[in-house]
Structure 1
Amino acid sequence: MRKITLQMMTTLNGRLDDPMAWVHGVSDDQYRDIDRFYAGYDTVLVGRTTYEEMAAYWPGALSESEGTETNRAMAQRMNTYKKVVFSRSGDRELTEWNNTERVVAATDGELKSYLQALKSQPGRDIHLSGGSSFARSVIALDLVDEFRFFVYPVVSPGTPWFSPLTDHHDLELISAGTYRNGVVGLHYSPRKQAQKARPGSFTEMLT
């Protein structure tokens, strides 16, 4: 069974949208790790708006001779991998890009059925990209198998992307690391736990 991995940059207060407002750079060691993680994928799940941002950049990045070796490797992956673009209505045209499939999922049930079938197909793991609304929908359906966060040491105004979720989600830390630009990398998997009674006091939590 293939895994769906949410891999995203975020702030200390959980902001996900408009990264140009708060990302102060991607250091070489962080970018190499991003590319290394991407080597384990062959499919990208993305909402329409984020897809258009990607389609405006990556095809050109592949054709340019400038840029780092890591960026050229990422451009090759992004242009080669399958891009699955989700929308609720499908009423807007998409920019043409190699190996792109459009999926119209009008309901959460349709989205869940499609993703469950996709996970059962042969292939490498699947990267859940933005936008934030689409990512939250997949998390709420309990279909994310791993979480990779690049946490920037920034507090920025914006809606925390976990805030609309109504269910409790326990995560188990797999690994953690730091990068030269101060970013912290966190790798989690969901943890299924039996429902525990709410502690009556802080002291009770420590016993």
Structure 2
Amino acid sequence: MRNIVLQMMTTLNGRLDDPLAWMGTVVDAQYRAIDRLYAGYDTVLVGRTTYEEMVGYWPGALEDEASGETNRTMARRMHDYRKLVFSRTGEHAISRWHNAEQVVAADDAALARYLMDLKAGPGADIHLSGGASLAQTVIGLGLVDRYHFFVYPVVSPGEPWFARLREKNELQLVGSEHYDNGVVGLHYAAVRGTKAERPKSFSELIA
């Protein structure tokens, strides 16, 4: 079974939309860590608006000799990945890009069925990218298996990744690191099948 992995920059309060409004620098060590994670994917899930932003940048970065080695490696990965662009209606065609296709999922049930079939098929892990609405929906459906957050030391109003959770999600910390720009990398695995009862008082939480 393939994993769906949410990997993104975020704020201390979990904002995931409009990163140019709050995101600071990406230092080299952080970018290399991001690239190492991207090496484990072969498919990207993305909404149409974010996809068009990707088309506007990555094909040109692939040929840009002035960009750094890590950025060109990322551009090559983006070129090669299977890119699934989700839409509720399919009303708007997507720009052409290598290995990209539009997927029409009219409602959450159709989206869940498609993603479950995708996870059951052959291949490497699947990266859940933006935009905010797609990420929130897939998280709310309980289909995300792993989370990689690069948390910037800032709070900012906007769309949090957990806005459409339907119930408490248990996560297990599997790794962490920090960088010179104050960013903390947090890596979690979803914990399945644990439905602990709500404690009757705070004293029950004290070991």
- Normalising by the smaller structure, the TM-score range is over 0.9
Q: Which moved more, 1:132-141 or 1:193-202?
A: 193-202
What is the rounded CA distance, in whole Å, between the counterparts of 2:195 and 2:119 in structure 1? Answer: 28
SS in 2 for 1:7: strand
Does the 8 Å contact 2:48/2:87 carry over to 1? yes
Q: Partner letter of residue 32 of structure 1?
A: R
1:8-47 paired onto structure 2 within 5 Å: 8-47=8-47
Question: What CA distance in whole angstroms lies between the structure 2 residues aligned with 1:56 and 1:195?
Answer: 44
Aligned pairs for 1:146-185 within 5 A: 146-185=146-185
The letter of the residue matching 1:30 is: Q
Provide Cα deviations, 1:118-145, integer angstroms capped at 9, x if missing partner.
1122111110001111011111221111
What is the aligned length?
Answer: 207
Paired letter, 1:55 = V
Counterpart check, 1:55 vs 2:55 = yes
- How far apart in 2 are the matches of 1:113 and 1:199? 34
Residues 40 and 124, structure 2, Cα contact 8 Å, conserved in 1: yes
Normalised by the size of structure 2, how large is the TM-score? 0.96
**Cα distance between partner residues in 2 of 1:42 and 1:8:** 17
TM-score, normalised via structure 1 length: 0.96
Partner of 1:125: 125
Question: What SS does the corresponding residue of 2:42 show, helix, strand or coil?
Answer: strand
5 Å-filtered alignment, 1:187-202, equals 187-202=187-202
C-alpha contact (below 8 Å) 1:170/1:193 kept by paired residues: no
The DSSP-based 3-state class of the residue aligned with 1:130 is coil
Amino acid at match of 1:103: V
Q: CA RMSD in A?
A: 1.2
- Residue 68 of structure 2 corresponds to 68
Aligned partner of 2:141 in structure 1 is 141
**Structure 2: distance between partners of 1:107 and 1:146:** 24
Partner Cα separation in structure 2 for residue 119 and residue 147 of structure 1: 16
Percent sequence identity over matched residues? 60
Question: Structure 2, unaligned stretches of length 5 or more?
Answer: none
Offset, 1:193:
4.8
Matched to 1:116, the amino acid is: M
